[in-house]
Amino acid sequence: MKLLVQRVNEASVTIEGSIFSQISSGLLLYICFERGDSDQTIAKAIKKITALRVFEDDKQKMNLSIKDLELELLAVSQFTLSWDGQKGNRPSFEKSLEPNAANERYEQFCKLLNSELNNKVKLGKFGADMKISSINDGPVTFFLSF
């Protein structure tokens, strides 16, 4: 499982010219499920994301989590994160979980994350041609692998 996490002032998903979902201040999360990801992988990722201290406290130190501040999170499935760029110039996505299984994992992950964050999770649409807009805050961006 790979995650790209961005601290944002706002983010949105547009599909076919209409806003599908949007958040104000919080995290934009791109999620890639790979072969071998398990329920334990998902649990570990959720624990990390909800506790990730990437928001500043009153001393301007990154010391607060999305859960601490009760902010929103926009979760977007992104299978292209599976390519590591080590071989060739044409991306290969052979490490990605096949679409039906990946969609099941995405739905499972988002449901559990939403429960952990008190219904503050908004979603992209799995498999859709999405246009993602965001204003990165910082910029603060992290790449996580589980």
Q: Distance from first CA to last CA of the chain, Å, rounded?
A: 5
- Nearest CA among 127, 125, 142 for reference residue 13: 125
**Residue 119 CB neighbour total at 10 angstroms:** 8
Name the domain count of the chain.
1
- What pLDDT is recorded for position 57? 97
> pLDDT for 22-63, tens place per residue?
999 999 999 999 999 999 999 999 999 999 999 999 999 999
Cα-based angle 127, 98, 4 (whole degrees, multiple of 5): 65
* Structural domain harbouring 24: 2-145
CATH of residue 12: 3.50.80.10
**What DSSP designation does 53 have?**
-
| Rounded percentage of the chain residues whose pLDDT exceeds 90 | 97
Largest CA distance in the chain: 46
- What pLDDT is recorded for position 31? 98
From the candidates 14, 50, 80, 141, give the one annotated as an active-site residue. Answer: 80
- What pLDDT is recorded for position 24? 96
Q: Does 41 participate in catalysis according to the annotation?
A: no
> pLDDT for 57-110, tens place per residue?
999 999 999 999 999 999 999 999 999 899 899 999 989 999 999 999 999 999
In which band, very low, low, confident or very high, does the pLDDT at 143 lie, cut at 50, 70 and 90?
Answer: very high
